[in-house]
Amino acid sequence: MALDIAFELMMILTSACALIVSAWLFWRARGQRSMKALAGFGIMMALWCAGHVAVFHGLEALGAALILTNPLMPTFFLDFAIGFVNQGPGSRPWLNWLARRRSLFYSTSLLVILLSLLLTGGKVIEFGHFRHYFVFQGAGWFNIAYTVVIGILAHAILLWGFGIHRGNRRRSIAAMFAAGAWGLWLATSFIFPSMGLYWYPYPMLLLPSYIVLLVYGVVRYQMLEVNAWANRALLWTLMTLLVLGLIALLSSLAGQFGMQALANVPKWQLWLYSMLMLTLAVALYQPVGKLVERLIYPGIHLNEQLLDMWLARLRQANSWTELVTIAETLISRQMGQPVSVHLYQQGEALTHRTGINPAPRLICHHQPQGWRSQLAGWDDVTPGLRLAAEVFASLLATRCGVLERSLQLAEAERKRLAEQHLVELGGLSAAMAHEMRNPLNIISMASAGLDPDRKAMIQNQLKRADRLISDMLSYSGRIQIQRQPVRLKDLIDSLSHQFDWQQARLECALPAELVINADPYRLQQVFTNLIDNALAFVRNQDGGIIRIEAGERAGSIRVHNNGPALAPEMRHSLFRPFVSKRSGGSGLGLAIVRRIMDAHGGRIRYRNDLGWNVSFELLFPEGDHT
């Protein structure tokens, strides 16, 4: 191939690459001025290369005009450099000042181009392998000098940005400098004939690589699909070189193995045929791969959009119940049949009952190393649907771990706010108790001279007010636990004499040897509040009974009464403060019990499934009883 034709082909290829890359950049810019400026740089390079092609074909005036637009290339690059560096930590007032004067740089470049054209900044000569080659002269050297100055300014801004930025932006700037050094070496050979050095510009044959490397250096750290494209391009290039080498080796050895017909085929024909087959294989790889996937995994249509939709829906769950509901809806819709989802948190046993539930099940359970998923009852499901279920199960297990951490953080924050609220409430309650008890004492002393009925009525109300104040102090104060062994039956027996039982009776069915490791004073408050609360409803009832017994679980104590059953709307707010249906109650008794049980590391719960109208179950830690 003649060297002049090779040069022309490289100019055409560079122009085509620059236009394609610029169109793609402009499409992906999405309002980013810097990327649009880089696309403008590529367009100007395409026009500059087209100018050389026009000169080769005798269109000297058009070609010279396109080549002399040279200053617009670094001007667009300067615009890009200002916008690329002037972001985040690199933003500076002087960069903003330059950004506001972009139009001045463009106007100056257009003026330089116009002067170069009017003053004949170049001519077409013949040398070596070229019958038509453009060289600069006169005002053309001013054109070159201005181009170099603007290019130096743009790279100086990038160099400053390299010292300011970190991460991907810093890496992009480093890649741009590497591409710029490559481009400078390539372009230098183009100037030699203008300086009287009539050397063939061999480096210009590699010019198509400059625009590709420059743009790739800019966006490779910003756009994932660029790296995917580069991966495919590099793979195709390596495969091409490998095929060329194998064909050359096969052609040279064919004659020695008796394949003379193959040895006589020109190598360029073998290479061309191999390139066509390789290109066809690359083009058919993806559709054939999809066909094979459908044959191996029929009925499956997993794609990025489906996975994103699954993740988005699973993220909407803020509780375990919501997560199970959403997961069952998604996987059942994908499978086309009902699928049940089971979540097992740490401490709960995971059991499998084969044959009990034939429907497919998706199970996630917590293990020391994290959440794990498994499928059960999927033996009759096609491989494609099973693969989709495995992918979904993996996403669900990941979401379980995220939700668990989220709920733990929310619970920790709730406890912190509750503690802070109680500290504030404790200070307020102490101040109120002090201020309220003073006038109550005065009222008590003033009632001493009244008749017995009035005095008894006032004293009863004063006791009620004092009990309310004591409950407020108990609920809002800091509860400190001093554990020691307590015989629970003896404690209950000592409390039974403090109450006015009237027609009700107390049944204590606790074993005499039952010992709870707890704070005796706080434990006394718990049973006093529970018995007092129950007496308010069974005291004037025929056959009223309060029964205290040990539960089935170790550390479980149950307090029953046969008073009226609780309304369903009351059950969810039983242990909240100031919630009471009891006449004369403060609404703090059960709330205090819950706080004391929390301080012991236990809990209290209401139950109506034990054969009694009302039952409260105290659950102490298993190690706190004997």
470/531 Cα distance (integer angstroms): 17
CATH topology of domain 481-624: Heat Shock Protein 90 (3.30.565)
Secondary structure letter of residue 559 according to DSSP: E
Which tokens in the block code for residue 329? 């809806």
CA distance 254 to 250: 6
For 380-407, letters b (16+ CB in 10 Å) and e give ebeebbbbbbebbbebbbbbbeebbeee
- Tokens at residue 109, please? 């470049």
- Cβ neighbour number for residue 553 with a 10 Å cutoff: 10
**Block mean pLDDT (10 aa), the chain, length 626:** 79 87 77 82 90 89 91 91 81 86 92 92 87 89 92 90 82 82 83 86 84 69 49 65 74 72 72 75 74 60 78 88 90 85 68 52 84 83 78 89 86 74 60 63 72 74 65 61 88 84 86 88 86 84 88 87 83 69 61 84 87 89 66
Per DSSP, helices labelled H in 502-613 are: 520-538, 589-599
DSSP label at 567? P
DSSP string for 251-304: HHHHGGGT-HHHHHS-HHHHHHHHHHHHHHHHHHHHHHHHHHHHHHSTT----H
Domain boundaries, the chain: 3-222, 235-296, 481-624
Query: What's the CA angle centered on 86, arms 84 and 87, to 5 degrees?
Result: 85
Note the pLDDT of residue 226: 47
Query: Which amino acid type is present at position 29?
Result: A
Give the E-state strand segments of 103-170 in sequence order.
122-127, 130-136
User: CA 233, CA 231: separation in Å to the nearest integer?
Assistant: 6
Crossing angle between the packed helical segments 304-315 and 320-335, to the nearest 10 degrees: 150
- 440 with 466: CB under 8 angstroms? yes
The contacts found for 290-296 with CB under 8 angstroms, 24 or more apart, are 296/383, 296/384
Q: What's the sign of the alpha-carbon dihedral 389, 394, 396, 400?
A: positive
Token readout for 328 is 């069952």
- Distance of alpha carbon 172 from alpha carbon 219, whole angstroms: 7
Confidence at residue 379, expressed as pLDDT on a 0 to 100 scale: 74
Q: How many CA atoms lie within 13 A of 314 on its CB side?
A: 22
**Which CATH number is 3-222's, of 2.60.120.1440, 1.10.760.10, 1.20.1070.10, 1.10.3720.10?**
1.20.1070.10
β-bridge pairing 122-127 and 484-487? unpaired
How would you classify the pairing of strands 603-607 and 556-561? unpaired
CA angle 462, 465, 468 (to 5 degrees): 150
Residue 464: the pLDDT is 60
Q: How far is CA 563 from CA 206, 521, 588, in A?
A: 96, 27, 20
Gap between the Cα atoms of 141 and 116, Å rounded: 9
Beta bridge partners of 342: 363
* DSSP string covering 64-88: HHHHTTTTHHHHHHHHHHHHHHSSG
Report residue 70 as tokens: 């040279």
Classify burial at 2, counting beta carbons within 10 Å of its beta carbon; exposed 0-12, middle 13-18, buried 19 or more. exposed
**Residue 107 near residue 95 (C-beta atoms within 8 A):** no
| Tokens representing residue 619 in the block | 């659950």
